[in-house]
Chains A and B, each alone.
With several copies, the nearest count.
Chain A
Amino acid sequence: RAESATRAQLTVYAAASLTNVFPAIDKSEKYSFGGSNALAAQIKQGAPADVFASANMTLPTQLFQQGFCSKPKVFTRNALVIVVPKSNPAHIRNIYNLTKSGVKIDIAASGVPVGTYTLQILKNMNLTNAVLKNVVSQETDVREVLAKVALAEADAGFVYSTDAKTVPGKVKVIRIPAWAQPKLRYGICVVSSSSQKTAAKAFIKRVLGKAGQKKLHRYGFLPRVKPKS
């Protein structure tokens, strides 16, 4: 029924990090941005979502296995960066400075995607213990990490490179070597309970399509497939 010519708006549940880019790709839909976990949990509780765009693949894959959504597709990738306050009180120049004692580091909790990725990076660079000893807080949401760095309460924090761009005036970005980056893939899928599956599929196409990918790129996201180097 909702398949009529003038179809109703889609409801898109998307990871917080997509807050700016998705409306840019398609402003006609309704969006609910939040921590991917929370969104997934809500979908399990029967939230009226048509599309779920997660900041990782694990969550949508879980949903898929439990029959809550279609098989997820990777639609973009992201990278982690270190943000430090503009004033950079702890004089962080690179990731290795994070091991200096007394540095206040803020990361997301292991339950949250960003948190998992952060730990992977530290593992890859085997800085795990050296850095974790400086961690002062494990937030429940990447927003809190960003807020605390922005307020200069924390000396440094791990966030998506895309998040960093949203508070330009307040933080400085410090890159993390590409080789240490985890596979940071965003998955998107159609929610099983959706009443507008075709429209939902169409939306996903738009995201995967040229225009969509361009927008994503403009907002600092990486191409969905790693360019072979």
Chain B
Amino acid sequence: MRRALGFGLFVAVAVVTLAFLALPIVGIFVHTSPGNVLHQFSNPVVKDAFVVSLKTSLLAQAAILLFGTPTAYLLATRRFPGHSLAVTLVELPLVLPPAVAGVGLLAALGRFGLLGSSLSALGITLPFTQTAVTIAVAYVASPLYIRQAIATFEATDPHLTAASRTLGAGPVRTFFRVVLPLARGGLIAGLALSFARGLGEFGATIMFAGSLQKVTQTLPLAIYQEFAVNFDASLAMGAVLVLISAVLLLTLRIALSWRSSPSTRSPSLFGLSSSS
């Protein structure tokens, strides 16, 4: 009896928690009619913002994938002095107030920034360009991908890579023929997460790239601007963002859980895996 009670408590707490996490989202949708949401897509501001968001997000994610993957792999498979520092570095953007991150980007890449002079020497000015948006998004979203990637790579059986080596494949070939295919699922999941996060990026973007319609004004920036002039519109855009992210994450999660599903096997009561 007491036990059943204890367990009930667990469930209760969980329900409360999930409800709490769901509420704000429900709130947003309550305040906007679906009609309103659709109607937003005829609003030029929204349209432009949407395009900018999509373009920059895709570029940013491509960059994250390209640069983050090898980084994650090395961090996962090699131990070197300063390893912990490197991993912390990867996590920092996650915990930096985006606005501060933006200031940091300015301080680093702005025209008075560390690399500013060298960049302008090459005739490049980053701040307030679309490139700046991409950079801001990439900076803020990267940890979500890289951390996931590290975890995934750490989980791949070292025997398989070793086998590949003894079969005459160098580290690189091994990476592409064995490691990547096995890590695919985890990497995709991580990328989806960082994509969603990137879509929602605000603070760093406004600081580093400003908010110029058609150029640097992403959805979150548009939302913020519309607050003043058209409150409903901003709420509706918020709803749009939530929808995109949620759908993205959900489909992915389901797709993956279809692949390696513990739920497909298991008459077992207490999560005993098949090895039990």
Bound pair (A, B): yes
Task: Give the B-binding residues of A (Cβ under 8 A).
Answer: 11, 16-17, 19-20, 30-35, 37-38, 41-42, 45-48, 104, 106, 109-112, 135-140, 142-144, 146-148, 150-154, 163, 166-167, 170
Q: Which chain B residues numbered 102 to 118 have a C-beta less than 8 Å away from chain A?
A: 103, 106-107, 110-112
Q: List 25 A-B contacts (CB under 8 A).
A: A19-B228, A19-B229, A30-B213, A30-B215, A31-B213, A33-B211, A41-B231, A42-B127, A45-B112, A46-B110, A46-B111, A47-B128, A106-B210, A111-B227, A112-B228, A136-B128, A136-B210, A137-B210, A137-B212, A138-B211, A138-B212, A140-B221, A143-B225, A148-B106, A154-B128
Closest residue to B107 on the A side, CB-wise?
Answer: A151
Chain A hits for B209, CB < 8 A:
137
Chain A hits for B216, CB < 8 A:
137
**Chain A CB within 8 A of B131 CB:** no
**Chain A CB within 8 A of B224 CB:** yes
List 6 other contacts, CB 8 Å, given A32-B217, A34-B210: A16-B225, A46-B125, A47-B127, A138-B213, A139-B210, A152-B112
Q: Given A45-B111, A142-B228, is A148 in contact with B210 using a C-beta cutoff of 8 Å?
A: yes
**Chain A CB within 8 A of B206 CB:** yes
CA distance A144 to B210 in the complex (A): 9
- Contact between chains at B128 and A41 (CB < 8 Å): no
CA distance A11 to B213 in the complex (A): 10
Chain B hits for A41, CB < 8 A:
227-228, 231
Distance in Å from the Cβ of B135 to the closest Cβ of chain A?
Answer: 14
How many A-B Cβ pairs are below 8 Å? 133
Closest residue to A150 on the B side, CB-wise?
Answer: B231
**Chain A CB within 8 A of B47 CB:** no
Q: Given A136-B128, A140-B224, A152-B112, is A34 in contact with B231 using a C-beta cutoff of 8 Å?
A: no
- The 0/1 profile, CB within 8 Å of A marked 1, for residues 200-214 of chain B is 000000110111111
CA distance A152 to B110 in the complex (A): 9
Chain B hits for A109, CB < 8 A:
211, 225, 228
Distance in Å from the Cβ of B134 to the closest Cβ of chain A?
Answer: 16
3 tightest A-B contacts by CB? Answer: A137-B210, A111-B228, A37-B228
Interface size class of B (residues with CB under 8 A): 20 to 34
Q: Given A16-B225, A20-B229, A37-B227, is A151 in contact with B106 using a C-beta cutoff of 8 Å?
A: yes
- Contact between chains at A32 and B210 (CB < 8 Å): yes
Distance in Å from the Cβ of B218 to the closest Cβ of chain A?
Answer: 13
* Chain A contact surface mostly: mixed
Chain B hits for A30, CB < 8 A:
212-215
Chain B hits for A42, CB < 8 A:
127-128, 210
- Contact between chains at B127 and A33 (CB < 8 Å): no
CA distance A194 to B171 in the complex (A): 52
**Chain A CB within 8 A of B84 CB:** no
Chain A hits for B103, CB < 8 A:
147, 151
Chain B hits for A16, CB < 8 A:
225, 228
- Contact between chains at B112 and A111 (CB < 8 Å): no
Most chain B CB neighbours (cut-off 10 Å) among A106, A137, A148: A137
Chain B hits for A47, CB < 8 A:
127-128, 210
Distance in Å from the Cβ of A31 to the closest Cβ of chain B?
Answer: 7
**Chain A CB within 8 A of B43 CB:** no
**Chain A CB within 8 A of B36 CB:** no
Chain B hits for A140, CB < 8 A:
206, 211, 221, 224-225, 228
Q: Given A45-B112, A139-B206, A153-B111, is A147 in contact with B128 using a C-beta cutoff of 8 Å?
A: no
CA distance A144 to B102 in the complex (A): 11
CA distance A17 to B209 in the complex (A): 21
One of B127, B217, B221, B230 near A46 (C-beta < 8 A)? B127
One of B111, B112, B225 near A19 (C-beta < 8 A)? B225
